[in-house]
Amino acid sequence: MTTSTIYHIGIDLGTSQSSIVTSTGKRFSTKTCVGHPKDIISQRRLNKSHLLGEEALKNRLSLNLVWPLADGVICDDAVSKEATQLILKDLIQHTLPKLKKEDKVYATVGVPALASVQDKKTIISITEDFIDKILVVSEPFAVAYGIDRFDECLIVDIGAGTTDLCRMSGSIPGEDDQRSLTEAGNFLDQTITDAIHQQYPDVQLTPQIIKGIKEKHGYVSDNNDPAIVSLTKKGQPGSYDITEILHKSCLKLSDAIGQAVQSLVADFDPDFQEILRHNIIVAGGGSRLMGIEKAIEKSLDNYGGGKANCIQDVEFCGANGCLKMCQEMPENYWDKI
């Protein structure tokens, strides 16, 4: 008699980067993009109908790239839905063994904090052929679940498309406990791009160049280190000082996050506001921005101060929480989802 195996997986479905952690101990991360050959030449050269993740980015000149979660949720078109499906299948194929017909896959998928009911239905519909049971949760809630922080704390998850904030207070957070901002990684990239072009109109920039600059030099702290970068102007390389440009651009992001933190503190139960202020956890790729936790603390100076800490294992913290939730979900509860 053939026995079936239930595989549990946690997926953090992000705008720029998506990650998976499985009950087999495997984990994998990929860029959330799909590339389709532009023409017959690129089709013959690549000999594939599509490329995924880093492979797609490396061959981007030959491809039409699709970033299906460009705005933090699945774009409402057939191409984006198909791309999301391909990415989710790829994550599973990279981490799970070849499945037998009788095997089952249970999944928890993290999405932005205020993803609509329709967004969740979309994820469920595009995975029904390869995921047997699925739970869709907010990404900051998944982070909190992964580190067992159900008491009074505030999760700030800074992604590429959205910054999601979730206020925890010992139970499943409601809509009033969450905020979703468009001021996030992509917003910062565009802000830096516009500011550089305003001061140096003819320099040549690409999204990859800007991301590299941000990751190496971006800061919101009182940093005296100059940011001198090499850029090209009509093909000719030169050195450019963008120290002040970067600082002002990064402050636009941190100021928006600070205002959202203030809002969630201000209308919280007054007896627990101090605890909340001193238990802020910063996650997501944006948590790598130098000094972001100090900027959040500074935003609370008029509220009595606060304490923020950046989480470890940024790349997989959301997926870890999703897997933990998936594994701990009682079997009889899945039928109610």
- Six-digit token string for 297: 């603390």
Answer yes or no: is 93 within a domain: yes
State the residue range of the domain holding 177. Answer: 149-310
Task: Give the count of domains, the chain.
Answer: 2
Burial 234-265 (b: 16+ CB within 10 A, else e): eeeeeebebbebbbebbeebbebbbebbbebb
Per-residue pLDDT of the chain (337 residues; tens, 9 = 90+): 567 899 999 999 988 899 999 999 999 999 999 999 999 999 999 999 999 999 999 999 999 999 998 877 788 889 999 999 999 999 999 999 888 889 999 999 998 766 767 788 889 899 999 999 999 988 899 999 999 998 889 999 999 889 999 999 988 888 889 888 999 999 999 999 999 999 999 999 999 999 999 988 888 877 667 889 999 998 899 999 999 999 999 999 999 999 999 999 999 999 999 999 999 999 999 999 989 999 999 999 999 999 999 998 899 999 999 999 999 988 777 754 4
Same domain, 249 and 156: yes
Same domain, 306 and 323: no
Same domain, 107 and 167: no
Answer yes or no: is 221 within a domain: yes
Same domain, 176 and 303: yes
Same domain, 137 and 220: no
> Whose CA is closest to 153, among 333, 308, 304?
308
DSSP 8-state code for residue 239: E
Answer yes or no: is 322 within a domain: yes
Same domain, 329 and 217: no
Same domain, 205 and 283: yes
Answer yes or no: is 62 within a domain: no
In angstroms, the Cα distances linking 121 to 38, 41, 85, 280, 313 are 31, 38, 13, 31, 29
Instruction: Give dist(CA 123, CA 32) in Å, integer.
Output: 15
Q: What is the pTM of this model?
A: 0.89
- Read off the CATH number of the domain in which 18 is found: 3.30.420.40
Same domain, 246 and 198: yes
